């Protein structure tokens, strides 16, 4: 068959070829969606290590634990009979959460008052961690963000202090807490202790208007993936949770919906997926939204972000 005849054949059947290509593409995408669904059903049932966490150690350490996702994670881990060390900068709220968890779940609790935007905070945390017998799980949850981060100076241009604070709180905290606790966990003989790092879907996509926050989350995701490769074949779990919107203080307590869970609903769902897969949103409706968003071409995605953030941008201009 000559080159010319092949071209003629393609031209003659181009509609059929186009339909075939579209069918294959749709089938591939639907298979991806089915795989995600199976992870949250069959995968969770078969491979979740949540119920074995109490065998991996006696304590769980949770940062940013005075409210929101951190508090909810602490409560879910206490349900697995783990003692809880809570770390955050709000002493009054920490004390309240620690006492409530201890009374309800009959576990030991300790708390450390620590401001993760400060360089010397780990001098307080490290001695406290060394006093723990064995550690089953570290949840690197602490984080902060700015409402709108326009480096153009148009509105809310971040200053040096705010830039440093968000980098310290979001990136340095995750890396340093891991460096403090991981060596201790590796000396333990019990299988499947782990580290859960809270990333964000913003770390995957181009996210204007929250560029600094999104970049810190991208750094956490990449750090976690590299660390997971190092820990391969060590019976140790490194898991990255990348949620979309959750109703917390960081999202100004958005009204909970099917796609915007409360912190309690999110923490339960994500901890149920412990050990199932390395990188996940942690909440099936978030997987559905992420699946749809990932189909968008970049031009359409940027228009969606512009539409989403435009009201907040205008409010910030008026406030200035």
Per-residue tokens: 248: 């917390």
Residue given tokens 């435009």 in the structure block: 310
Q: Which of 40, 201, 209, 213 is flagged as catalytic?
A: 213
Alpha-carbon dihedral sign for residues 296, 299, 304, 308: positive
Centroid of chain to Cα 63 = 13
Per-residue tokens: 161: 């202090």
Alpha-carbon dihedral sign for residues 123, 128, 132, 137: negative
Residue 113 to residue 91: CA distance in whole angstroms: 6
Per-residue tokens: 4: 């010319």
Residue 185 to residue 60: CA distance in whole angstroms: 11
Centroid of chain to Cα 311 = 26
Q: Is 192 a catalytic residue?
A: no
Are residues 281 and 243 in contact, defined by beta-carbon separation less than 8 angstroms?
Answer: yes
Please report how many Cα atoms fall inside a 13 Å half-sphere around the Cα of residue 250, on the Cβ side.
Answer: 23
CA angle 156–160–165, rounded 5-degree value: 90
Are residues 20 and 13 in contact, defined by beta-carbon separation less than 8 angstroms?
Answer: no
Task: Return the active site residues.
Answer: 213
């Amino acid at each position: 068959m000559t080159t010319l005849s092949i071209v003629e054949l393609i031209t003659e059947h181009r509609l059929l070829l186009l339909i075939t290509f579209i069918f294959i593409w749709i089938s591939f995408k639907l298979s991806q969606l089915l795989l995600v669904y199976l992870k949250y059903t069959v995968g969770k049932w078969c491979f979740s290590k949540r119920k074995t966490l109490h065998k991996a150690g006696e304590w769980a350490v949770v940062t940013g634990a005075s409210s929101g996702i951190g508090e909810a994670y602490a409560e879910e881990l206490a349900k697995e009979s783990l003692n809880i060390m809570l770390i955050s900068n709000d002493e009054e709220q920490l004390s309240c959460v620690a006492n409530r968890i201890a009374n309800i779940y009959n576990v030991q609790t300790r708390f450390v008052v620590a401001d993760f935007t400060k360089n010397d905070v780990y001098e307080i945390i490290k001695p406290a961690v060394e006093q723990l017998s064995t550690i089953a799980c570290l949840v690197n949850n602490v984080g902060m963000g700015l409402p709108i981060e326009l480096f153009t100076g148009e509105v809310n241009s971040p200053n040096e202090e705010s830039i440093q604070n968000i980098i310290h709180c979001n990136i340095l905290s995750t890396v340093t807490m891991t460096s403090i606790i991981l060596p201790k966990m590796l000396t333990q003989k019990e299988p499947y202790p782990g580290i859960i790092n809270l990333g964000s879907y913003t770390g995957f996509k181009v996210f204007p208007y929250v560029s600094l926050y999104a970049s810190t989350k991208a750094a956490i995701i990449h750090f976690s993936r590299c660390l997971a490769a190092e820990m391969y074949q060590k019976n140790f779990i490194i898991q990255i949770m990348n949620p979309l919107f959750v109703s917390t203080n960081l999202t100004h307590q958005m009204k909970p919906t099917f796609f915007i869970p409360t912190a309690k609903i999110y923490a339960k769902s994500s901890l149920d997926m412990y050990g199932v897969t390395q990188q996940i949103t942690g909440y099936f409706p978030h997987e559905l939204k992420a699946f749809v968003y990932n189909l968008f071409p970049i031009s359409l995605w940027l228009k969606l972000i512009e539409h989403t953030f435009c009201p907040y941008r205008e409010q910030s201009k008026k406030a200035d």
